Amino acid sequence: MSRTFDVLEWTLAAARGENYPDFPEHPQMTVYDTGVIAIEPEQGSSKDVIISCAVHGDETAPIELVRDMIHAVLDGALEIRQRVLFMIANPWSIVAGKRFVEVNMNRLFSGAHATGDTLEHQHAAKLERYVERFYTSAPAGQRQRYHYDLHTAIRDSAYEKFAVYPFRHGQPYKREQLTFLAECGVSTILLNQAPTTTFSYFSSHQFGADAFTVELGKVRPFGQNDMSRFAAADHMFRQLISTDVLELPAFDASRHHIFDVCRTIDRTQSEFRLNFPDDVANFTPFPRGALLAVDGTTEYHVEQAQERIIFPNANVAIGQRALLTVVELPVTELDLV
Ligand SMILES: O=C(O)CCC(=O)N[C@@H](CCC(=O)O)C(=O)O
Ligand SMILES: [Zn+2]
């Protein structure tokens, strides 16, 4: 169905330098930038929720989810009870139909954007300012900050949906967040054990938000996503922003698969290869001793009894992460609050 105003078309037209009608006047909506829209209920909110997509431009399902939520608000079909910032983070990479135009933007947060001057460096700096503006302009009082940065993964995955819990600097993990994510269909969690320059770590570390990189499925072109696979996540995000108090079931440890990030293997040489085929899925386990990657003359072998591979990508820029390995951790070993 064609719309008189389509927020994605408006965002992409701006990225292409084309004309498009202005964003419609709406009493609760403030446009921070094309694709960056804050929605603020008049009163009574207690949550500041960021839902971002398109940090990688070819990860289309989250873009469709965010687009449809914004349209539902514009159409009066979704009543907003909490402050929300929707972010279509890299419109130029959507236009290009690529993960990024020049540089992977999800390595440029927490100030890393200062190291260059590409479109992605400049835009990451702006996105940081929008996050700061949104969180710091909330009404006074006790509030809770959230940031769900929605992605889809390049490879198939033994666990279709999973989330990265950014490094907590010793703070406990939250039962409520694990339960919320499980209700979204995301019951597999990776615990990052070091600071990163990702968008979710930025909001978590700089603003104390409950922030996650959420992998909702596999990268597919527009029109090829089976949106029924995202229905639970869509429902829960809408519940989060349209209710005063979000009803969640009690925490149930048996629902969750927790994995500790064990090793981060960076590509440091132009001669870099992964020692397994392109169709090996995320979370595939490898036995101790197996050769995973060769970086110049350095060989990376599996060190623990069973390490599983995540996000393998031999084509990353030199200096960037080419592979993570994870090991399963019983939920009972987590410091939970
Ligand atoms: O499938 C892949 O290889 C990449 C999917 C993706 O974009 N993942 C994020 C994870 C960010 C994090 O570690 O929090 C990324 O690589 O940026
Ligand atoms: Zn991504």
* Type of residue found at 238: R
The pLDDT assigned to 19 comes to 97
Q: What is the ipTM metric for this complex?
A: 0.96
Ligand 1 nearest atom to the CA of residue 99, by list position: 7
Any binding-site annotation on 59?
yes
The pLDDT assigned to 94 comes to 98
- Structure token pair of residue 254: 């048996």
Active site residue 9: no
Q: 10-residue block means of pLDDT along the chain (337 residues)?
A: 89 98 96 97 95 98 98 97 98 98 98 97 98 97 98 97 98 98 98 97 98 98 97 98 97 97 96 96 97 98 94 96 96 96
The pLDDT assigned to 24 comes to 96
The pLDDT assigned to 2 comes to 72
The pLDDT assigned to 1 comes to 59
Ligand 1 nearest atom to the CA of residue 59, by list position: 7
| Cα-Cα end-to-end distance for the chain | 45
Any binding-site annotation on 56?
yes
In angstroms, the CA 174 to CA 321 distance is 27
**CB-based contacts of 22, cutoff 8 Å, min separation 6:** none
In angstroms, the CA 325 to CA 264 distance is 7
CA of 319 to the centre of ligand 2 (A): 18
Structural domains of the chain ordered from first start: 7-254 (3.40.630.10), 263-333 (2.40.50.630)
